[in-house]
Amino acid sequence: CGQRRGGHVIAHCVCDCGNEKDVMISSLCAGRTKSCGCFRREYVTKKNTTHGMSNTRIYSIWCDMHRRCKDPRNKRFNQYGGRGIAVCDEWKLFQPFYDWATENGYQPTLSIDRIDVDKGYSPNNCRWATSEMQQNNTTRNKIIDFMGKSMTQAQWARETGISQSAIKDRLTKLNWSVEKTLTTPIKERRNGT
Burial of 182 (0-12, 13-18, 19+ CB in 10 A): buried
Query: Rounded to whole angstroms, how far apart are CA atoms 124 and 42?
Result: 38
Over residues 157-180, the pLDDT tens digits come to 888 888 878 888 888 888 889 889
pTM, rounded to two decimals: 0.50
Whether the per-residue pLDDT at 45 is higher than 70: the answer is: no
pLDDT band at 193 (very low <50, low <70, confident <90, very high): very low
Whether the per-residue pLDDT at 155 is higher than 80: the answer is: no
